[in-house]
Amino acid sequence: MDIKIGLIGLGTIGSGVAKILKENHEILTAHLGVPLVLKKIADINLEKAKGLNLPHEMLTTRVEDILDDPEIEIVIELIGGCEPARSFLLQAIKQGKHVVTANKALLAQYGEEIFQSTAAHQVDIGFEASVGGGIPIVRAIKEGLAGNQIKSLYGIINGTANYILTEMEKEESPFEEVLQEAQEKGFAEADPTYDIKGIDTAHKLTILVSLAFGTKISLDQVYAEGIDRITPLDLQFARELGYKIKLLALAKDTNGEIEARVHPTMIAQDYLLATVDGVYNAIYVIGDRVGSTMFYGMGAGEEPTASAVVSDVIDIARNIQKNITRRITPTSFCEEYRKEKKIKDINQIIASYYLRFSALDNPGVLSRISGILGEHNISLASVIQKGRQIGESVPIVMMTHEALEQDINNALNKINNLPFVTEKTLLIRVAELD
């Protein structure tokens, strides 16, 4: 018996999925023993269908043609955004259909509602494509590392931000210029807010945290800060200090207390993760037994993301073949064992910091700044001041030892108000991948 699929959303990824199901039909059948049949594609804009050479009767503008078709057992949602994606998914689930989605924004905000609905209706949900594009990271955490207590994870999971930082460093060009180039080349969207502000990364981190630590976490508990204040000068200082700056999604479980944060991060150049450049993604996961692992690949794009979507379809198809559902729960944790763990406030984290002050190059400035830091229990590991231009604004870079973020903030509030400080101090957190 073949297994029939409905696809809602024929955009970039949707086209990729339609192509795989058609062009890799033979190998998919070799895996499953039965054909996967894409029965219906629904989109209000069927523009992309032209290049795909699909039979006319496969296409529809009415989502009901999928949701109400009793033959369709798996519904793939690839329209993105919260509505109407959420309603469509919930309707499909209610109709007893299994669902596959790449929608990280939706899962980060309505994941619990959707997961609960799959439980109520005893259907499966796949969302491998929601994090890390083609990298099978969801499966790796849920299954491959299931014997471990995950201690921490560190992800470069936004290709646009990583591309911009890589280019800024390579070309020594300012953020705005590189962003514009990225937009022209199609590596950044017309509205890049989610990517550059760390919001997309926070969406993905919310999903990863729920898988890695078996806890419920809401998007607003994830601290998110973007890359738009980083300058080529910071990338240069970082290099001199032996670091790379990456937009990192970082999560840790320390005795049941969770840190979950997204921000530009300095990581030592010799970490494997530091060498992940351009549009590539990588997730570094540390388990109590397996130690350090890393999963690397294309984090976005039509075909890599479609590869992940299809892996979920195959997974669900295998359940259909065995006439079972919910062999694994959406997070892999049984509901009764999911814990409400405390999520640490960003002010309570302890880290080392890169601080770039902009101050008039007057005598006593350095001592005044370091004095205030000292008063707030912040000790310095190194100081770089380059070029002397008495009376003009110069950058002063300080690397701190480990300090409480609250102390850093209090100190910076004072320092930023000093008369000779010309610009808000830039702070970049340092991460040790342990």
> What are the residue numbers of the active site?
204
Task: Measure the CA–CA gap between 304 and 300, rounded to whole angstroms.
Answer: 6
Q: In what order do the strands lie in the sheet with 125-126?
A: 59-60, 36-42, 3-8, 72-77, 98-101, 125-126
Question: By C-beta, is 82 or 290 nearer to a copy of itself?
Answer: 290
The residue from 60, 231, 293, 352 that contacts a copy of itself (CB under 8 A) is 293
Say whether residue 58 binds a copy of itself (CB under 8 A).
no
The residue from 22, 170, 327, 342 that contacts a copy of itself (CB under 8 A) is 327
Least Å distance between CB 337 and a copy of itself?
Answer: 4
In one-letter notation, the amino acid at residue 231 is T
Say whether residue 288 binds a copy of itself (CB under 8 A).
yes
What lies within 8 Å, CB to CB, of 177 at 6+ separation is none
Say whether residue 264 binds a copy of itself (CB under 8 A).
no
Say whether residue 314 binds a copy of itself (CB under 8 A).
yes
Say whether residue 33 binds a copy of itself (CB under 8 A).
yes
Question: By C-beta, is 86 or 142 nearer to a copy of itself?
Answer: 142
Task: Measure the CA–CA gap between 145 and 283, rounded to whole angstroms.
Answer: 13
Asked whether the CA dihedral 189, 193, 196, 202 is positive or negative, the reply is negative
Say whether residue 1 binds a copy of itself (CB under 8 A).
no
The residue from 194, 296, 353, 354 that contacts a copy of itself (CB under 8 A) is 296
| Chain residues 88-147 in contact with a copy of itself, contact rule CB under 8 A | 128, 134-136, 139-140, 143-147
What lies within 8 Å, CB to CB, of 270 at 6+ separation is 242
Q: What are the backbone angles phi and psi of residue 394, rounded to the nearest 5°?
A: -130, 155
Q: What are the backbone angles phi and psi of residue 166, rounded to the nearest 5°?
A: -65, -45
Closest CA to 278 of 306, 298, 301: 298
Say whether residue 384 binds a copy of itself (CB under 8 A).
no
Task: Measure the CA–CA gap between 15 and 383, rounded to whole angstroms.
Answer: 52
Question: By C-beta, is 163 or 295 nearer to a copy of itself?
Answer: 295
Least Å distance between CB 322 and a copy of itself?
Answer: 5
Say whether residue 157 binds a copy of itself (CB under 8 A).
no
Closest CA to 75 of 6, 9, 123: 6
- Total residues contacting a copy of itself by CB under 8 A comes to 64
Say whether residue 256 binds a copy of itself (CB under 8 A).
no
Segment interacting with a copy of itself, rule: CB under 8 A, options 28-36, 91-99, 117-125, 412-420: 28-36
Least Å distance between CB 182 and a copy of itself?
Answer: 19
Instruction: Say if residue 264 is preceded by a cis peptide, omega within 30 of 0.
Output: no
The residue from 6, 16, 198, 226 that contacts a copy of itself (CB under 8 A) is 16
Rounded to 5°, the CA angle 203-220-182 comes to: 40
Say whether residue 334 binds a copy of itself (CB under 8 A).
yes
Say whether residue 402 binds a copy of itself (CB under 8 A).
no
CB 428 within 8 A of CB 245: yes
Rounded to 5°, the CA angle 76-6-306 comes to: 40
| Chain residues 137-156 in contact with a copy of itself, contact rule CB under 8 A | 139-140, 143-149
Binding site residues, a copy of itself, CB under 8 A: 16, 20, 24, 27-33, 128, 134-136, 139-140, 143-149, 214, 272, 275-276, 287-298, 301, 303-304, 306-311, 313-315, 318-319, 321-322, 324, 327-328, 332-334, 336-338
